[in-house]
Amino acid sequence: MEDQSPDVPVTKPTVLLVDDEESILNSLRRLLRSQPYEILLADSGAKALEILKERPVDLVMTDARMPNMDGATLLAQIRKLYPSTLRILLTGYADVDMMTKAINEGQLYRYLSKPWNDEELVQALRQALAHQHSESERQRLEALNREQNQQLKTLNATLEKRVASRTAELQQTADMLDLAYEELKRSYVTGTEVFSLIANLRLPKAKQTNRQIIELIRVYSRLNSLDESTDRDLTMAAALYNIGKLSWTDNMMVTPADMLHHSELELYRAYPKQSESLLMTLDPMKDAARIILHHQERWDGSGFPDHLRGEAIPFGSRLLKLAVDFIELQRGLILERQMNSDEALVYIRKYTGKLYDPDMVEDFIKACAEYLEDVTLSDPTVQVVTTRELAAGMVLARNLNADNGMLLLNAGKVMSGPLIEKLIAFEAMEGARYSVFVKIPEEEADPSAPKPMLG
């Protein structure tokens, strides 16, 4: 048991003794007066129930044979009304029916024979109360565990107030991962999804990515019938791919990758390795950690950290890069301008064979269309054109926004010659280059036609 502070009073267990014979009660009281218990006495079952109604009692020991209400009946009532109170039957009769009733209806902890052995009776009470304390402590710890899990879920509102420095933040992350090891062995995926919240805490809500990447990976896995082990490793990698960014400054966390200062690039290129290092100590996560390590490799070998090329890049890493880039392009974490989902897919198609595995891109686009309702790029009747390729009569398939986010035209707008000229002039004035998603008649759409590769 934990040491009690001198200022905190120690509560004695309360023991209620019930017997219709005053001499028996006095004998029991004398026997137990040296024990650390508060002793209460009752000379009938009715009196015992009155005491229980007025105050909590830890243990009741009752005689079996009493007038009006026998011990078995009393214990059955106590079990119904006060199930946490321990119950012991004291009997001097070999009454099988009485014992059966007490056991079945009273759910007694144990029974003792009369006349009793003093040492045996004292030991029985001590063991019963120790059992009750252990059970109470187990319930307290379970409640504490549930409370701490709830606190973890809401940590995004309080983490910045709880950490004293960036170093302490990293240490806390490592400690939490270590403490969760046993839970991860039972449910690795669930555990890592909880811990993915930690990385998101450093980002504004509009910049958070992990949940969307996890869900997108799961859709791809389902559509392409990936095996359970691969799906599990990919989900864990998606949950924790950016945990190595926790040592970054707040400004660097929200700065697009192509806008990072020269002095920050080395730290940026180190984050996959840092993420892997934090996870490799947990044996069940080694495969997920390897996926994370190589998710910034590029198909043409220009990526990092190891400049792997083509199929030398693990399959999971190639898929994770597609998902990470798709979501981070929309969050403004790669380029200065935030893209919509279709523009992000146009970007991915453009760099197929350079950044991305050409055999995976179209399956990935199908997964995106399944995951997001606003993806139109997988529709053969939708084309992506420049402003100068627009023609009168074309219909916008999705909203057109300026680079600063201002809405220019709503989806469903029918293009006219004067409207196209105004759009071209505005584009030139802004120094921008818009990708316009237009819908063409289905009979004119050719699913086998090459996809537009806009810059």
| CATH number assigned to the domain comprising residue 420 | 3.90.105
Cα–Cα distance measured from residue 436 to residue 307, given in angstroms and rounded to the nearest whole number: 35
| The pairing of beta strand 400-401 with beta strand 407-409 | antiparallel
User: Which of 44-53, 197-206, 345-354, 407-416 has the lowest average pLDDT?
Assistant: 197-206
Task: Give the end of a domain, one of 359, 378, 397.
Answer: 378
Asked if residue 197 belongs to a domain, the reply is no
Task: Give the end of a domain, one of 85, 107, 138.
Answer: 138
Task: Assign 314 a pLDDT band (cuts: 50, 70, 90).
Answer: very high
Residues 19 and 79 in one domain: yes
Residues 336 and 210 in one domain: yes
Q: What is the pLDDT of residue 156?
A: 57
Q: What is the pLDDT of residue 147?
A: 85
Asked if residue 164 belongs to a domain, the reply is no
Beta-carbon contacts of residue 333 (< 8 Å; ≥ 6 apart): 207, 209, 254, 256, 257
The answer to whether 350 touches 453, Cβ cutoff 8 Å, is: yes
Q: What is the pLDDT of residue 72?
A: 85
Task: Assign 444 a pLDDT band (cuts: 50, 70, 90).
Answer: low
**pTM beyond 0.75, yes or no:** no
Cα–Cα distance measured from residue 219 to residue 341, given in angstroms and rounded to the nearest whole number: 16
Greater confidence (13 vs 381) lies with 13
When mean pLDDT is compared over 24-38, 123-137, 237-251, 294-308, the highest value belongs to 294-308
User: Which of 142-151, 337-346, 351-360, 440-449 has the lowest average pLDDT?
Assistant: 440-449
Task: Assign 164 a pLDDT band (cuts: 50, 70, 90).
Answer: low
Asked if residue 33 belongs to a domain, the reply is yes
Whether 191 shows a pLDDT value over 90: the answer reads no
The answer, yes or no, to whether the previous bond of 450 is cis (omega within 30 of 0) is no
Side-chain half-sphere CA neighbours of 172 within 13 A? 17
Residues 398 and 317 in one domain: no
When mean pLDDT is compared over 227-241, 369-383, 426-440, the highest value belongs to 227-241
Which H or E element spans position 38? strand 38-42
Residues 341 and 400 in one domain: no
Residues 106 and 212 in one domain: no
Residues 350 and 396 in one domain: no
Residues 298 and 349 in one domain: yes
Asked if residue 104 belongs to a domain, the reply is yes
Cα–Cα distance measured from residue 55 to residue 49, given in angstroms and rounded to the nearest whole number: 10
Residues 342 and 212 in one domain: yes
Q: What is the pLDDT of residue 203?
A: 81
Q: What is the pLDDT of residue 163?
A: 46
CA distances from 132 to 200, 377, 438, 443, 450 (A): 43, 64, 72, 77, 74
The answer to whether 124 touches 130, Cβ cutoff 8 Å, is: no
Task: Assign 91 a pLDDT band (cuts: 50, 70, 90).
Answer: confident
Q: What is the tens place of the pLDDT at every residue in 19-41?
A: 999 999 999 999 999 999 999 99
Cα–Cα distance measured from residue 232 to residue 201, given in angstroms and rounded to the nearest whole number: 23
Mean pLDDT of 4-23: 76
Asked if residue 453 belongs to a domain, the reply is no
Cα–Cα distance measured from residue 337 to residue 329, given in angstroms and rounded to the nearest whole number: 8
Q: Which long-range contacts (CB under 8 A, 24 or more apart) does 204-209 make?
A: 204/254, 206/331, 207/253, 207/254, 207/331, 207/332, 207/333, 208/331, 209/242, 209/324, 209/327, 209/328, 209/331, 209/333
- H-assigned helices in 42-117: 45-54, 71-81, 96-106
Asked if residue 284 belongs to a domain, the reply is yes
Residues 371 and 393 in one domain: no
CATH, residue 305: 1.10.3210.10
| The pairing of beta strand 436-439 with beta strand 395-396 | antiparallel
Structural domain of 58: 14-138
Cα–Cα distance measured from residue 139 to residue 136, given in angstroms and rounded to the nearest whole number: 5
Asked if residue 398 belongs to a domain, the reply is yes
Q: What is the pLDDT of residue 377?
A: 65
Residues 305 and 332 in one domain: yes
Cα–Cα distance measured from residue 15 to residue 41, given in angstroms and rounded to the nearest whole number: 9
Query: Mean pLDDT, the chain, as a whole number?
Result: 83
Q: What is the pLDDT of residue 453?
A: 41
Q: Could you tell me which of 409, 417, 411 has the C-alpha nearest to residue 391? A: 417
Asked if residue 365 belongs to a domain, the reply is yes
Beta-carbon contacts of residue 239 (< 8 Å; ≥ 6 apart): 189, 192, 193, 195, 196, 210, 214
Mean pLDDT of 405-418: 83
CATH, residue 28: 3.40.50.2300
Q: What is the pLDDT of residue 161?
A: 58
Residues 261 and 386 in one domain: no
Task: Give the end of a domain, one of 87, 118, 138.
Answer: 138
Residues 334 and 410 in one domain: no
Whether 47 shows a pLDDT value over 80: the answer reads yes
CA distances from 194 to 142, 200, 215 (A): 18, 11, 14
Cα–Cα distance measured from residue 42 to residue 73, given in angstroms and rounded to the nearest whole number: 15
For the chain, what is the domain count? 3
Q: What is the pLDDT of residue 69?
A: 92
